[in-house]
Amino acid sequence: MASLSAVTTTRLLTSANRLLPCATSTRLSRRTVLSLNSLRSSPFISHTFLPQKSYLRTISSGRIGYSTVSSPKCFASDPEQLKSAREDIKELLKTKFSHPILVNVLLVRLGWHDAGTYNKNIEEWPQRGGANGSLRFEIELKHGANAGLVNALKLLQPIKDKYSSVTYADLFQLASATAIKEAGGPKIPMKYGRVDVSVPEQCPEEGRLPDAGPPSPAAHLRDVFYRMGLNDKEIVALSGAHTLGRSRPDRSGWGKPETKYTKDGPGAPGGQSWTAQWLKFDNSYFKDIKERRDEDLLVLPTDAVLFEDPKFKEYAEKYADDQDAFFKDYAEAHAKLSNLGAKFNPPEVLI
C-alpha cells in the first residue's frame, strides 16, 4: 500500500483527534501513521477515522435526509459540547420563541416521541425502542403520530452540525428538558450519554405511540404507558405538558382551525390550544379540563379521561390544586421518560 501523503496524514490525524473527545490526553501523532497505514483497510478504522458519506441534509421531492453518522462510540456525547449545545438551545428559544413549533413540537414532542417507542418487554437494544435518536430517519418521521416533527429537526440540525460530538438521542432530550425550564416549568434532573442508532433499519415499527381518540381512552393510555414501564401518576403528570402548544386539524385531525387564542399566532396563526397561555408551562391544563368552561380550549378524549377514571382523577385533581406538586411529579416523570430504552456510554454524564 502506498504511504499516506503529508496532507492526507494531517487531515487524518485532525479527524481522528476530533473524534476522540473522551481521550483528550491521548492524541494521535505522526508515529501512529505506520499503524494506520497498515490498518487502513480495516472496516473499523475506515469507518471511524476516514471521511464518510452521509445522507443529504436537504428536503426535496418529498425525500428527507439527515446525517446517519453518530457521535464517537468512545464517549457517546462530549460533556463540554453538551453544555454549549444547551446554551445554544436557550438562545434559539429567545430568538424563535414566538414560533410555537419550538415549544409544542421541538421542545416536548420530539424528545417524547423518540423515547416513547420503548417496550419494556424487549431486552435487546435497539429493538426495544426508546431514546436512541432513531426519529431523525425518514421512515420514522413518516409515522402518523410524528406528523410535523421534520420542522423540529430542521430547527435543531444546525446545533447538531455545530456540536458533532453530541448524539441525536442526547440532543433531542436536552432540547426537550431545556424548553420546559425556559417556558417556566421545573428543572428536569437529566443525565446524558445516550448512544444513537446508526441506520434506518433500526427504527421501531409504527404504532407504539399513543392515539388521541381511542375507543377506550383510559385502557389505551395504560396499554401504551405501562408498556414503557410508567404508572398512573406518571401518565397524568406527563399529560400536563399539554399546557404547552396547540393541535392543528390538518396535521393531527384534532382541534379547530383557529380560536381566539391562536388566530393571531404567535407564529403561523391557527390551531386549537389546550390552554389560554399556551406558551407558558404551568398547571392550567388540569384547571381548564376540570372546569370545561371555554369551548375554544381543546379537550381530547385522552385529556377528559383524566378526570373520569377514578385512579387518574386522584392525581389530576391534585395537580389542578397544587402546581408545586405537579412540577415535582412532572420533573421526575419527564426524566424517567427521557431515559427509556437508552444505552448510555458512559453510564451517566451530568452537565
Task: Say how far apart CA 79 and CA 57 lie, in whole Å.
Answer: 25
What 3-state DSSP class applies to 193? strand
Residue 15 CB coordination number (10 Å): 15
Q: What is the DSSP string of 7-54?
A: HHHHHHHHHHHHT-TT-TT----GGGHHHHHHHTT-HHHHHHHS----
Query: What b-and-e string marks burial along 180-194, b requiring 16 or more CB atoms within 10 Å of the CB?
Result: bbbbebbebebbbbb
Task: Say how far apart CA 259 and CA 73 lie, in whole Å.
Answer: 48
Cell for 105? Answer: 413540537
Residues tagged active-site: 113
Residue 238: burial class (beta carbons within 10 Å; 0-12, 13-18, 19+): buried
**268 within 8 A of 255, measured Cβ to Cβ:** no
At 65, the amino acid letter reads G
Residue 273 β-bridge partners: 246
Residue 285: burial class (beta carbons within 10 Å; 0-12, 13-18, 19+): buried
Dihedral in degrees, nearest 10, Cα atoms 132, 73, 157, 64: -70
| Cα separation of the two ends of the chain | 45
